[in-house]
């Protein structure tokens, strides 16, 4: 017969192991390697006729982006909608499994704007867009990722497997992605975040804030 103290220790060890496995499984970054990231990797795109400081700031670890629906595009001659975004440089990719992680905050009233992109695709310019419509975060326009997002910090993870043409999006961790579906073809890809007005739907004023940005890969 096994002495009771040893049995208790064994059961406790098993419980701890199972709890650890559960926590690991709930973290979308498990198995990924975090890559070095600094301000030199952050290229700010904003309306071409205003200084960066009028549309973007970085203070106490928080990136703050704002844009107006009446703003100019980021380049003269561009037909795109107004934006203030960071384009992450130094980590463009054409293969592999890549991940973007960050925490975002969207103030009430902001709508009709894209706050995060996986750029590059065959059938369109992007493989993934996460947008804000009326207080909900959506994948493009069709799939709701999270409701009632206004005025709270939310953890956001997007995983792009180029070879499998697959995109997964996680909100506040969890075992199950809120989106798990096809991308839009292999191309040269990179990550962007901020605010990018969507045609016919954008509020006059759009804002998002981001912190704790990470790039990871397998």
Question: What digits encode the pLDDT tens for the residues 29-88?
Answer: 999 999 999 999 999 999 999 999 999 999 999 999 999 999 999 999 999 999 999 999
> Distance between CA 37 and CA 41 in Å, rounded?
6
Listed in order, strand segments (DSSP E) in the chain are 33-34, 42-45, 56-59, 62-68, 83-88, 97-105, 113-119, 126-133, 136-139, 143-146, 154-161, 166-171, 179-182, 190-197, 205-217
> Distance between CA 80 and CA 47 in Å, rounded?
11
pLDDT for position 26: 79
Q: What's the chain's average pLDDT?
A: 91
pLDDT for position 25: 55
Q: For residue 22, give the DSSP letter.
A: H
> Distance between CA 103 and CA 108 in Å, rounded?
17
Residue 112: closest CA among 142, 130, 133, 129: 133
Query: If you average pLDDT over residues 118-138, what whole number do you get?
Result: 96
pLDDT-derived band at 16, boundaries 50, 70, 90: very low
Tokens of 29: 């970054």
142 vs 24, which has greater pLDDT?
142
pLDDT for position 120: 97
Query: If you average pLDDT over residues 129-157, what whole number do you get?
Result: 97
Query: pLDDT of 145-173, one tens digit each?
Result: 999 999 999 999 999 999 999 999 999 99
pLDDT for position 20: 39
* Global confidence as pTM: 0.88
Query: If you average pLDDT over residues 109-117, what whole number do you get?
Result: 98
First to last CA, the chain: 47
């Amino acid at each position: 017969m096994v002495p009771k103290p040893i049995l208790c220790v064994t059961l406790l060890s098993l419980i701890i192991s199972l709890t650890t496995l559960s926590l690991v499984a709930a973290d979308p970054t498990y198995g990924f390697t975090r890559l070095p990231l600094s301000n030199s990797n952050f290229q700010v795109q904003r309306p071409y006729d205003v200084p960066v400081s009028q549309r973007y700031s970085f203070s106490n670890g928080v990136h703050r982006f704002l844009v107006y629906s009446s703003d100019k595009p980021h380049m003269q001659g561009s037909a795109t909608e107004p934006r203030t975004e960071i384009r992450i440089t130094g980590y463009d990719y054409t293969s592999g499994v890549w991940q973007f992680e960050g925490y975002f905050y969207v103030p009430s009233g902001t709508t009709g704007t894209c706050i995060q992109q996986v750029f590059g695709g065959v059938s369109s310019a992007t493989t993934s867009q996460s947008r804000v419509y009326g207080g909900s975060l959506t994948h493009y326009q069709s799939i709701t990722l999270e409701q009632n997002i206004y005025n709270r910090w939310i953890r956001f993870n997007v995983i792009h497997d180029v070879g499998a043409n697959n995109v997964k999006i996680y909100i506040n961790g969890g075992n199950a992605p809120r989106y798990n579906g096809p991308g839009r073809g292999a191309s040269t890809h990179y990550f962007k975040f901020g605010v990018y007005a969507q045609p016919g739907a954008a509020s006059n004023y759009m804002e998002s804030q981001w912190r704790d940005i990470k790039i990871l890969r397998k």
